[in-house]
Structure 1
Amino acid sequence: MILITLLIFTAAIAVATFLPLWQNPHWSVRSFDFPRLQIATLAAVLIIIQLLFLDLAQPVSWLLVFVAALSLAAQLWWILPYTAIWPSEVKNAPMKSPERTLAILTSNVLTPNRNAPALLKLVQEHQPDILVTLESDQWWEDQLAVLEGEMPYTIKCPLDNLYGMHVFSRLPLHESEVCFLIEEKVPSMHALVELRSGDKVRIHFIHPAPPSPTENDESTERDVELVIVGRSVADSDEPVIVTGDLNDVAWSPTTRLFRKISGLLDPRVGRGFFSTFHADYRLLRWPLDHLFHSRHFTLASITRLPSIGSDHFPLLTRVVLAPTYGKDQEPLDDDSDDRSRARELAQEKGASKQDVPHPGE
């Protein structure tokens, strides 16, 4: 009975681990990209139970231990870069440089959430240069209007479909544009932000729809949006930031593909998970809110902020423009297979990197 039970659990862990290697975009497959930390924990516990309760004189027992250990190793391959034991991908900022620092607070507010005072308090406390809100509708726009005295540069797209988006900035925004890159009701925002030093940074705010039984059956729409934005910024030699709720975890194949083809860096590598979703369930959390940047930047700080009543925690990231100091930071390497995969995804939806605005060019 113990053998049968452990056989079932081992098979379940193995399926959950290796099914995502299949590139099928259906949500039932892609959903296993998310809980890798949780599955790794279960695999480790399973190995301990196997060693304690199986008859290790039997070859089948060692086969089960091997499968569970292989599953654990595979999960760790994906998630270990987001722990302190991994080398940091982004350097720490060498010194304070207020005129070249850019602080961005990203917050998926959850449309029906009505705790706007909590977000306003965080803005007052941390004084970000830019606040970007996701899932913000007209009610949220009205509540956040008080920020415009100190953050007068705005981009607004209030929607009641969970994909509204707002940007409030203390710093000048140039060539601002709202686009619907892949889906007609899912916006993205693009602009140049002018730092206090006068330097300009190309910035993209995105929030593609996730694969789920209540949204898109497949991840294709999300994947294509990430791919065309990644291919677009790869052509730029200027400072670039891409941020928002990607509805994808940091370690997924799609986000890794985005990082490879864009050449952007992830400041969480070597520092931690900074899991922002789900705020209400401690054991079911993973990093959905992201900020990626070109090698022009180094990191001053990255912080997950307290809950504002949403299902996402806000994320505050401070980066410093230091192109000379950061020039030897190395992004993930891409290859011809990655580039081919990116082209195939874009062609599947008839999308192109030319669809993405190129502010500053």
Structure 2
Amino acid sequence: MAGLVGAWVGLSVLLVLASLLPLSRRPQWWIRGLDFPRLQLAVLALLVLLAGLALHRWQPLGPAGWALQGLLLVCLAYQLSWVLPYTPFWRRQVPRSGSPGGPSLSLLSANVLMTNRRADALLALVRQQRPDLVITLESDHWWEQQLAPLETDYPWSVKCPLDNLYGMHLYSRLPLEETELCFLVEEDVPSIHTRVVLAGGESVRLHVLHPAPPSPSENEESTERDAELLVVARSLLESGQPVVVAGDLNDVAWSSTTRLFRRISGLLDPRIGRGMFNTFHVKFPFLRWPLDHLFHSRHFSLLSLRRLPDIGSDHFPLWVELALEPGRDDHEGPQEPSPGERQRAREISAHGNVSVAEVPEPGRA
């Protein structure tokens, strides 16, 4: 029994620490990585809470034990507060479109996994879904060759094949104008910035991002990732344009950085009030997170949002279809950023040695 109590105490302390460490906002990968498994940590906190109640039947916990139970309950509530917006129990941030026949934009985004050789699965999915835009991430020269058949139906494209896991391609049925391929923060991590011209002549500003994650095998800190996200967010502040930002951001939807990105940019997340739409990891259902994102301005409402079937990658593809309805005013949030949040975004951008002036602004007058 003493061993079980010791294990319970040890697990409880670890869960409390895992909840406290991200509050420091330190950029080290092992701290920022704790932003990801908030749902898993909530489940573990609940299980350890129940285990504590079961142990109490055989051995009273005492004041210290009940204090630890109280901390676990706080941890459970705290972790759930981050992920609950990404469930159907929350109010939807983006309304469903009321005019499906109007101008729209559909997008299929897929982190293909550079070593994956099931290009046929992706091509079949594109033929089935027929999106306006196809975004591929981690696509190298081999993938570029395999995706060449798309050019018949997608005559506009942006290609950046790289063998470092950060290649990216954009294929479009719609005209692309003012296109720029940039390396904003790291010299080997690209991003695409362009203006998509819809069938009716309306234009949409598009940014495709895939910053490197904080991890022991890549960047030991989140500085580079956070700087890229927030400098793009700052460039969008008060732009007044229809805007879409898409890609694998190597961050979860509920992290403090992604929240700050939404507050600074003013963009909306169609997953809020609908679900997490976890795209990574395909092989581990209990360890899945929403790493592939699409954010958009208030000019849009939602037609459809789906996680698509496995294509052999470690990511599921993501499908989003938006209706351009600039006259609607029934969107929910986000709130205006506070002066402190604006300052924090400026500081993070500065730490990444990147300025707003370096971010292309296609279509901005």
Q: TM-score scaled by structure 2?
A: 0.97
Q: Cα 1:352–1:87, aligned 2, differ >3 Å: closer, same or farther? A: same
- Residue 29 (structure 1) aligns with: 31
The amino acid that maps onto 2:119 is A
Letter paired with 2:38: R
Gaps of 5+ in 1: none
Tell me the distance in 2 between the aligned counterparts of 1:329 and 1:86.
11
TM-score (structure 1 length as normaliser)? 0.98
Q: Verify: 1:308 aligned to 2:311, yes or no.
A: yes
Q: Counterpart of 1:88?
A: 92
Is contact 1:296-1:326 (8 Å) kept? no
Q: Which aligned runs of 4 or more in structure 1 are off by greater than 6 angstroms?
A: none
Asked if the contact 2:228/2:352 (under 8 Å) is kept, the reply is no
Aligned to 1:74, the other structure's residue is in SS state helix
Picking from 1, 9, 12, the partner of 2:11 is 9
Maintained 8 Å contact 2:95/2:331? no
CA contact (8 A) 1:193 1:201 kept: yes
Return the alpha-carbon distance in structure 2 between the equivalents of residues 121 and 283 of structure 1: 28
Of residues 54-63 and 10-19 in structure 1, the stretch that sits farther from structure 2 once superposed is 54-63
**Structure 1 residue 295 displacement after superposition:** 0.4
2:40 corresponds in structure 1 to 38
1:283 paired with 2:305, answer: no
Quote how far apart the aligned CAs of 1:114 are.
0.4
| Residue in structure 2 matched with residue 66 of structure 1 by the alignment | 70
Q: Mean Cα displacement is larger for which, 261-270 or 333-342?
A: 333-342
What is the one-letter code of the residue matched to 1:289? Answer: D
Contact 1:89 1:265 in 2 (8 A): yes
How far did 1:240 drift? 0.4
Equivalent residue, structure 1, for 2:295: 292
Deviation at 1:48, TM superposition (A): 1.0
Secondary structure (helix, strand or coil) at the match of 1:323 reads coil
Cα offset, 1:138, TM superposition: 0.5
Residues of 2 paired with 1:56 and 1:170: CA distance? 68
SS of the residue 2:287 aligns to:
coil
Q: CA separation in 1, counterparts of 2:309 and 2:331?
A: 34
Matched residue SS, 1:273: coil
Q: Counterpart of 2:105?
A: 102
| The one of 222, 230, 243 aligned to 2:225 | 222
Pairing 1:200–2:203 present: yes
* Residue identity in the other structure for 1:60: A
Distance between the aligned counterparts of 2:100 and 2:25, measured in 1?
44
The answer to whether residue 343 in structure 2 is matched with residue 337 in structure 1 is: no
Any gaps of 5 or more consecutive residues in structure 2? none
Distance in 1 between residues matched to 2:335 and 2:98, nearest whole Å? 23
Match of 1:176 in 2: 179
1:346 is the counterpart of 2:346: no
Asked if 2 retains the 8 angstrom alpha-carbon contact of 1:306 and 1:314, the reply is yes
Q: Which residue of 2 aligns with 1:355?
A: 358
1:330 Cα offset (Å): 2.1
The 3 A distance-change label for structure 1 pair 52 and 133 is: same
**What is residue 239 of structure 1 aligned with on the other side?**
242
Q: Report the alpha carbon displacement of residue 56 of structure 1 after superposing the two structures with TM.
A: 4.8
1:349 shift after superposition: 2.5
CA-CA distance at 1:184 after TM superposition: 0.3
Q: CA deviation at 1:196?
A: 1.3
